[in-house]
Chain A
Amino acid sequence: MTSTLTISQLTKTFGGTRALSDVSLGLAPGERVALLGHNGAGKSTLMKIILGLIAPDSGQVSVCGAAPGHASARAKVAYLPENATFHSALTGLEQITYYMRLRGEDTSGAMELLDRVGLGFAARRRIGTYSKGMRQRVGLAQALIGRPSLLVLDEPTSGLDPVSRRDFYELLDGLAADGASILLSSHALTEVEARTDRLLILSGGKMVAQGTLSDLRREAALPVALHVTAHNGHDSDILAALPGAIRVHDALHLNCSQEDKLATLGRITALGGKVADLEVIPPSLEDIYSHFSRRDGQ
């Protein structure tokens, strides 16, 4: 299976500062990949290079078998910019019809496309009267035109309410099932976790981690937090039994590595009636993300 997008050793410098250094990645057909990174990590620059809007300093990029920005690549790639904007004097229908004609698509499907993103009711109103979420949906609608092979989505769910987000990811699932590759950037870590196949973390222009969430969790090897609540008066017994535990308000907090987790749980259960309650808190996606994005650069 040939990949939709291949990038190797990509480097881009803006006036002395390295926006991207030695970035390599590949996207297979049907794969959904999330691109994470703090502001200025190089996400938008990477996307603009893939789209052919800016040229890299060095490295190879191949988009659907062509150079980025080449006419045959542009015909197969859809883009949703961060904070999609359109001419305020046009109606949603006119704007989508225009984009369909540029892609050589039959414009009779414009209304149906707007219905698909839930904008059918406002199709004949000017985009100037739309809310931010509605403009974002016009952006989504134009990214769906003409069955693209690669979708590059820059923070696609910003400005969408939770229900619209769910609908949006369902649309993406359908596209991916049809063989489209999806590269999306996001700050909403929890939704990305459930809805993508792979995560890429950029930090200071470097690719600091890539893999599935469980890969990253294993690689980060962050400790598990245990919160133990003691029955009255048994605090000191428990503290004695669990070296490293500290008292925080009424509970006892303890960190342990993934490997020691079961052994530690065993020791806690052995305390029997002295323990009133126990909470096990695995490292959150935010913790893993911070671990990788701070390891370099900051």
Chain B
Amino acid sequence: MIARILATATTEIHIARRNRWVLIAVLLMVVFSLVLSAAGSAPTGALGADRLSVVVASLTSLSVYLVPLVALLMSFDAVAGEVERGTLPLLLTYPVARWEVLAGKLVAHTAILIVAIVAGYGAAAAVTIAADPAALAGLGALWRLTWTSVLLGATFLGIGYALSSMARRVSGAAGLAIGLWLGLVVLYDLGLLAAVVADDGGTFTTRIFPGLLLANPADAFRLFNLSAAQATAAASGVGGAAAAIAPWQSLLSIGLWPLLSLGLAALAFRKVEP
């Protein structure tokens, strides 16, 4: 079983390397992280936090958009691509379970994501610490951001596999992935914000709104990192609500979402008839 999963993972890494996905993911993360850390390092002292914690707060806002995007870009092709190329029937006649195929792809894509995240955050942290050694105090926040980013990435990899299985065509899967990214990461927050403004402190804001934030993996990720760091007020649009939600709640959401999305992906892949 392990050997078959690793065999698939090795093959997927070969493909991602040739298709330049590794390079694209790493470059995206490094460039954006460096830009943010340069932009965010100017107004420090006034906040009373160390420089790195401030950079982590900026990186959190960046990762909420970028990590899901990179994960979806790597995963939308996973099943639909095999169907469209015609490679799936042959693969499924091999003595390998469908979930093993998916697990192999997940291992490879997560590994690439980890490399990209570590490279991006590492570059930003190195620049910040070089400028101000006192920033070392923020390493805890950086570590928290790193592993929660990996979990966020895994969640969206699973969502990407599920969409890819349901669409069965690459173009359809790409459309669904972009739509879902826009919905979960951009429009969801806008909608919530509009609802909160309209509600003006009523029951929606106090009762339903925190639950809706937790239900969205991207929002849970942002909440957890911003409330854990002390820089909440500095960078959060929906920061006010963060105070109402305990960190263990957002952590639970971050931890459950990968299991949920990968379970969904496995179910959707099982329904694909080659």
Chain A residues close to B by CB (< 8 Å): 48, 51-54, 71, 74-75, 77-79, 81, 83-87, 89-90, 94-95, 98-99, 101-104, 126, 139, 142
Contacts and interface: CB of A to CB of B under 8 A. Distances in A.
A89 B18 contact: yes
A132 to B, nearest CB: 13
Interface stretch (B9-17, B67-75, B139-147): B9-17
Interface string B87-103: 10110111111000000
B15 A89 contact: yes
Contacts of A103: 94-95
22 contacts: A48-B89, A53-B93, A53-B274, A54-B273, A54-B274, A74-B93, A74-B94, A77-B93, A84-B90, A86-B85, A87-B11, A89-B19, A95-B11, A98-B10, A98-B11, A99-B94, A101-B4, A101-B6, A101-B10, A103-B94, A103-B95, A104-B3
A85 B14 contact: no
Contacts of A79: 89-90, 93
A103 B96 CA distance: 8
A90 B16 CA distance: 10
Given A85-B85, A89-B19, A139-B90, 8 more contacts: A53-B273, A54-B273, A89-B15, A90-B15, A99-B94, A101-B4, A101-B6, A101-B10
Interface residues of B, number: 24
Nearest to A74: B95
B37 to A, nearest CB: 34
Contacts of B15: 87, 89-90
Given A87-B85, A89-B18, A71 B11 contact: no
B27 interface: no
Interface string B1-34: 0011011101100110011000000000000000
Contacts of A83: 86
A126 B18 contact: yes
A86 B96 CA distance: 17
A27 B85 CA distance: 31
Interface of B: 3-4, 6-8, 10-11, 14-15, 18-19, 85-87, 89-90, 92-97, 273-274
A84 B97 CA distance: 21
A81 B89 contact: yes
In the A-B complex, the 8 residue pairs with the closest CB atoms: A101-B7, A89-B18, A75-B95, A79-B93, A74-B95, A85-B86, A98-B11, A102-B94
Contact of B14 (A75, A90, A101): A90
A131 B96 CA distance: 29
Contacts of A94: 11, 14
Nearest to A79: B93
A101 B90 contact: no
A65 to B, nearest CB: 15
A102 B86 contact: no
Contacts of A139: 90
Which of B3, B18, B94, B96 has the most chain A CB atoms closer than 10 A to its own CB? B94
B95 to A, nearest CB: 4
A102 B97 CA distance: 10
